[in-house]
Amino acid sequence: MCLVGQKPDGKWSCMLDIQDKNRSGCGQWEPLDAQEERLAAHNYRKALVEWKAAKAKVVADNHAAVEKARAERGIELFGDPSGKFETSEGGTAYQRLGAKPASEVTNREVFWKERVAAISKATGVAFNGEPTKQDDPSGFAIWYVVASSDIYDARLDVAFPPVKVEEPAQNPQEGEEPAPKPQVQWRELCFEKVLPGFEVPPRPQPPKR
């Protein structure tokens, strides 16, 4: 003999606490609200798996379309495969970092224009207008600008060290490393845009408790 009951999804299941049947969906009886909560969690996990697969396909197809456009336009990007990474949204992005002794940068405006020209050439994105300038608590002056094309969003950041800095000790004590010389640092970022015809489906929401 055994007792069966109907679950919220309409299926019938063994409801007795029998060890060889005591697994998810069978065994010990549960109140209806507990069954509904478990079913909602199961459906959410299933929907999440399906969403991840659908999202991966859209991202891959969009990347292929962007790469086709890039090749047709002769855009080289940054050339270093190690600078390629995946964003939190699953898209493809590229990064190039650099640094130069501050003593070699005698004119910030000229240096900025050189970096703008470099990222424009690498990404095919035109940068217009003046950079936004901010003073960091560390003493560095941060210059940045953001621009877009039909296939990329790009950003350039340059950090200039303070003009007046303390000179490193000429004779550091034994065992001490000499203080590093200040450097101008920069970062170039390029993010693939989601092109028309490609839309990432909305992420399923977890069930409310």
pLDDT tens per residue, range 141-154: 999 999 999 999 99
Which residue do the tokens 């109907």 mark? 6
- pLDDT value of position 141: 95
Q: Are 147 and 188 in contact (CB under 8 A)?
A: no
Q: What is the mean pLDDT of the chain?
A: 86
Summarize pLDDT for 153-194 with one digit per residue, the tens: 999 999 999 976 555 555 656 666 666 788 999 999 999 999
Q: How many helices (H) and strands (E) does the chain have?
A: 2, 8
pLDDT above 70 covers what percent of the chain?
A: 84
Residue 113 to residues 38, 82, 108, 141, 144, Cα–Cα distance (Å): 59, 26, 9, 16, 12
Q: Does residue 9 register a pLDDT over 80?
A: no
- pLDDT value of position 15: 62
pTM of the full structure: 0.74
